[in-house]
Amino acid sequence: MSKSDPFWDKSAERYAKSPISDEATYNRKLAETQEYLRAEMRLLEFGCGTGSTAIHHAPHVTHIDAIDISEKMLEIGRGKARDAGITNVTFTRGTLSEFNAANESYDAVLGLNVIHLLPNRQEVIAEVARILKPGGVFVSSSVCVGNSLLRFIKFVVPIGKLFGLMPDLYIFTENELSAEIESAGFSLESQWHHGKNGIAVFIIARKLS
Ligand SMILES: C[S@@+](CC[C@H](N)C(=O)[O-])C[C@H]1O[C@@H](n2cnc3c(N)ncnc32)[C@H](O)[C@@H]1O
């Protein structure tokens, strides 16, 4: 089992308490995602954090597997689900590959604000394609700074990481990400920007049948 990144364990309480920075955009993402959800669907969210999004979607599907490498994030998520009376979300520690879901076992997979934290982005996208049913949807939200001056943050990350102030962070462009998703066997159904200089990219992609 992968080690938890101490940055996320340490940040969990603060992350849970911090208000959503752009509520209109968050609500737009929830609404767009829910257009794809049906009561009989099984959904998986990797990098679920404290479970807020899974809890929002839970009443719209039959079951959600919410996974994250940080046990502290998951503990908070379990408490929030209990308080909200949500019983169809299962929180499990690990990465997507450790979770090792069966082939074509999910109708939708979510990876929100997590892909830019992954050293093995292309493997993870391939894993999403493997576990989705044909016609299933992959919903992602990622920070793509490859074309922005912020790409130089890569020189700061190792120092920030050393002092526990930053997580791992990987640099790529929006075009690279969308091409990787398409070449893993998806067609892009929605793609839009938000955040400062449009560096955050929301994508809904459908697995080709
Ligand atoms: C920025 S938070 C996003 C949380 C949530 N998805 C959201 O949008 O609020 C990133 C989360 O990804 C988790 N994470 C980082 N690397 C991961 C990995 N390889 N597999 C699963 N979760 C991971 C962290 O522990 C953290 O909870």
Of 82-91, 119-128, 155-164, 181-190, the one with minimum mean pLDDT is 155-164
The residues with which 186 forms a beta bridge, in sequence order, are 207
Instruction: Kindly state the average pLDDT of the residues 127-140.
Output: 98
Count of structural domains, the chain? 1
* Closest CA relative to residue 111, chosen from 88, 136, 141, 89: 141
Instruction: Kindly state the average pLDDT of the residues 23-32.
Output: 97
pLDDT at 98 > cutoff 90: yes
pTM, rounded to two decimals:
0.95
Q: Does residue 199 contact residue 148 with C-beta atoms inside 8 Å? A: yes
Q: Specify if 159 maps to a domain.
A: yes
Instruction: Kindly state the average pLDDT of the residues 38-43.
Output: 98
Q: Specify if 1 maps to a domain.
A: no
pLDDT at 19 > cutoff 70: yes
Domain that holds residue 12: 6-207
Q: Specify if 103 maps to a domain.
A: yes
List residues near ligand 1 (CB under 6 A).
5, 8, 46-49, 53, 68-70, 73, 95, 112-114, 117-118
Of 68, 70, 73, the one to substitute when testing ligand 1's pocket (max ligand atoms within 8 A of C-beta) is 68
pLDDT at 160 > cutoff 90: no
Q: What is the CATH number of the domain that holds 123?
A: 3.40.50.150
Q: Where are the alpha helices (DSSP H) in 21-105?
A: 23-34, 52-57, 71-83, 96-99
Q: What angle do CA 141, 37, 175 make, to 5 degrees?
A: 25
Q: Specify if 126 maps to a domain.
A: yes
Residue 130 has a CB neighbour count (10 Å cut-off) of: 17
Helix/strand number for the chain, H first, E second: 8, 7
Q: Specify if 17 maps to a domain.
A: yes
Instruction: Kindly state the average pLDDT of the residues 17-46.
Output: 96
Q: Specify if 50 maps to a domain.
A: yes
Structure tokens of 193?
């920007």
Structure tokens of 64?
């959600």
Going by pLDDT thresholds of 50, 70 and 90, the confidence category of residue 9 is very high
Q: Specify if 128 maps to a domain.
A: yes
Residue carrying structure tokens 């459908």: 206
10 C-alpha to center of ligand 1: Å? 13
pLDDT at 35 > cutoff 90: yes
25 C-alpha to center of ligand 1: Å? 19
Q: Does residue 91 contact residue 74 with C-beta atoms inside 8 Å? A: yes
Please tell me which residue, 167 or 41, carries the higher pLDDT value: 41
Q: Specify if 11 maps to a domain.
A: yes
pLDDT at 49 > cutoff 80: yes
